[in-house]
Structure 1
């Protein structure tokens, strides 16, 4: 059943408009986004199935394309709607980072990185290049790997930092396994990058590892 088939005031879309977002459940919000269900199941019922399958809103929005398309009633159109919602959320947070001192808002930085890296199915190494007031100049994914890791080259990071005239860098990468604990290899590459960029008077402020619903900060652990 499509949202448009609900009677006036009955459906989740009307509830959202009339009572506000706070009065609408996760399943109802997701149903508004999906717009239609599948044969014999309403949009809200389909939304509940997705939330149960992926463990909540974050799981749905960060699930891989193959995972979503493998669910009954989910085609490319619905997949695109979910991807658009996730990307809009990521861009909203990124805009806030561009206008503020990132070191004074670590929670916002972590939120952005969870949006940016949390749903990746392979390891991605990202650099946040900052100006001398720690405002975001550029976010760039530089290295890509398999589930076992990504090859990271300090020279490439240094070239990009000089290109953007960055005064500081925050490093980040994801662990597709879901565990955010830093490995020995993570510590080694952090030291290499810190030393290489330090020769150019560019500070490495932090290295953040993104797991499944959790992050680990090298700066907070005293590892920098």
Structure 2
């Protein structure tokens, strides 16, 4: 049965307008994005099939381009639309996040960094540069690849902090493996950067390890 033949209260779009987006299931939200189904499947049926095939909504949204466009019912146009939606979400979150003291809402900081880093297939080391009121000046990925003590150059972080006229910063890097457990290399990098930035009177407030399963704060662990 086509979605247009369903009772109005059960149609995803009408349900969203009446009750809000939070009331919809993952399949219903995805169906609104897809707009149409395929032969023999409504948009909701197709969405349920996709979620089953990929394992979760997060896995579908972070799928690489090759797999996504090869999936029946998706394709290049849908991939482009999805990337635009995700980027708008990141920018929206960034605009709201930049207006506040990051220390006033630690979870918002974690969410912001996870939005930018959790789904990366490669290790990325980034800095969140802050002003003297702990408001965000800029978020900047600094290094890519395997992150270890030899791959992160304190002088480059110092140069970037001075360029942004930062008073403080938060370090962050992701673990594509999915485990947000700090390694000895993570602790060593943190101490080197704290010492280097202290020489130019710039504070390091935290170092966050970002993974799909969660985020770990070295400051909260007492590892700073």
For residue 219 of structure 1, give the secondary structure of its aligned residue in structure 2.
Answer: coil
Cα offset, 1:26, TM superposition: 1.7
Deviation at 1:2, TM superposition (A): 8.6
- Measured after TM superposition, the shift of residue 31 of structure 1 is 0.8
Q: Is the CA contact 2:12–2:24 (under 8 Å) kept in the aligned structure 1? A: yes
Distance, in Å, in 2 between the alignment partners of 1:67 and 1:110 is 29
Aligned residues: 220
Which stretch shows the higher mean deviation, 166-175 or 151-160?
A: 151-160
Q: Distance in 2 between matches of 1:15 and 1:39?
A: 24
Q: Which residues of 2 match residues 78-97 of structure 1 at below 5 A?
A: 78-97=78-97
Higher mean C-alpha displacement, 31-40 vs 130-139: 31-40
Structure 1 position 24 matched with structure 2 position 24: yes
Unaligned stretches of 5+ residues in structure 1: none
User: Normalising to structure 1: TM-score of the pair?
Assistant: 0.89
More displaced stretch, 124-133 vs 7-16: 7-16
* Structure 1 residue aligned with 2:72: 72
Q: How does 1:82-121 map to 2 (within 5 A)?
A: 82-121=82-121
Matches of 1:98 and 1:43 in 2, distance apart?
Answer: 37
Question: How far 1:76 sits from its partner (Å)?
Answer: 1.4
Of 29-38 and 54-63, the range deviating more from structure 2:
54-63
- Which consecutive unaligned segments of at least 5 residues does structure 2 have? none
Q: Counterpart of 2:167?
A: 167
Q: CA deviation at 1:186?
A: 1.2
Within 5 A, what are the aligned runs for 1:187-198? 187-198=187-198
Structure 1 CA distance for aligned equivalents of residues 66 and 176 of structure 2: 15
> Matched residue of 1:220: which SS?
coil
